[in-house]
Amino acid sequence: MKIRYLPALLALLPVFSLHAAEPATPARMGTYYGARTTEYPAWFKDSFLNLKEDIDEARKNGKRVILMFTQNGCPYCSALVERNLSQREIESTMKEKFDVIAVDLWGDKELVGLDGKTYTEKSYSAAQKIQFTPSLVFFDETGKILLRLNGYVPPARLQAALDWVGGRHENTIAFRDFVAAREVPKQASGEMIREGFFLKNATDLRRRGKAARPLAVFFEQKDCPDCEVLHRRVLADPDIRGTLAKFDSVQLDMWSRNLITTPEGKRMAVRDWVRQLGVNYAPGIVLLDPSGKEVIRWESSFRVFHTLGMFNYTVSGEYLREPSFQRFLSARAEHLRESGRDVDIWRYADEPVAPTAQ
């Protein structure tokens, strides 16, 4: 019996081998949504990118210099131009008090830094640790950096930055206090938005032991519309929730006088730690690795893709291998698309990934 059926079985083997050797049908390439082309205003300075010369020229004209780091396809850069720079007060303040110079995050033009060294735009961006676009860097007359705005900020906050730097208030009031005088109600009421992933009554933020987890510190405040957008339209995303489960997450009132122990082991009031960190806006989120070292932070109006990216960048340990967050994001987007998933970099959690997002 066995011998009789053996030729038939052997005859089937080439058929099985042939099918096993055929590659699986590749998944479709996911679609990329949300990229936007930006046309920058004609009144931006057409610079030779010699920073000392630019700062000296601005000083002679009673102005200061802003470097605006950008990149192609950046929807946040587009929002900055279309929503912020189109407002009359912002435009007039910039024209009157600043020379604004655009720097391409990935550009190859030569740029001479204040140290006299020659860079390309992209190598200078890396040297300045620019992780987001748009990023605005404000210089005084001596070349000192007075302020950095990392990522898109709403018009009112940009106007506050322009008024503080343009009005030369750096020696009379800290920027965060200048902003607070405009934004924080004198009698802030209500409660901050609580989440189930926040640790309760966490006052010791030190990372200890081999099992220590990365730390996400959410600096918020009462009567904070931007905090509500963060919670309702960004942190509500299920992928973000799943990634946050790998962190110890703490919510702190950035104006609180309550004492905490910082990751460095210092005992101080929350508001003093906020001042030490240089967090200027609510919500501000600082991510630290399991050793308590800061990895990345943001105070910007990011949506789901970039916010999830920052959590993944930290918890995966990729920041140790790839110092550029933008390169990490690009690789992540391509990986998702190659697996057949659509990527929408301009989506809120309550919006579908759809062609209408473009």
Burial of residue 170 (CB within 10 Å: 0-12, 13-18, 19+) is middle
pLDDT digits (tens, 9 = 90+) for 277-309: 999 999 999 999 999 999 999 999 899 999 999
Angle, in degrees to the nearest 10, between helices 175-183 and 155-166 = 130
Instruction: Determine if the pTM surpasses 0.95.
Output: no
Q: Give the residue from 238, 246, 191 showing the smallest Cα distance to 213.
A: 246
**pLDDT at 190 (0 to 100):** 77
Q: In b/e form, how buried is each residue of 101-110, taking b as 16+ CB within 10 angstroms?
A: bbbbbebeee
More confident call, 19 vs 80: 80
pLDDT digits (tens, 9 = 90+) for 202-237: 999 999 998 999 999 999 999 899 999 999 999 999
More confident call, 13 vs 112: 112
pLDDT digits (tens, 9 = 90+) for 136-184: 999 999 999 999 999 999 999 999 999 999 999 999 999 999 998 888 7
- Binning pLDDT at 50, 70 and 90, where does residue 194 land? very high
Is the preceding omega at residue 134 within 30 degrees of 0, hence cis?
A: yes
Geometric angle at alpha carbon 309, from 130 and 197, rounded to 5°: 120
Geometric angle at alpha carbon 273, from 266 and 206, rounded to 5°: 40
Domains of the chain (ranges; CATH) run 51-183 (3.40.30.10), 215-321 (3.40.30.10)
Quote the CA–CA distance of 287 and 131 in Å, as a whole number. 14
Burial of residue 132 (CB within 10 Å: 0-12, 13-18, 19+) is buried
Quote the CA–CA distance of 272 and 27 in Å, as a whole number. 52
pLDDT digits (tens, 9 = 90+) for 232-244: 999 999 999 999 9
Per 3-state DSSP, what percentage of the chain is helix, strand, and coil (rounded to 5)?
A: 40, 20, 45
Q: Which two tokens stand for residue 272?
A: 């003093």
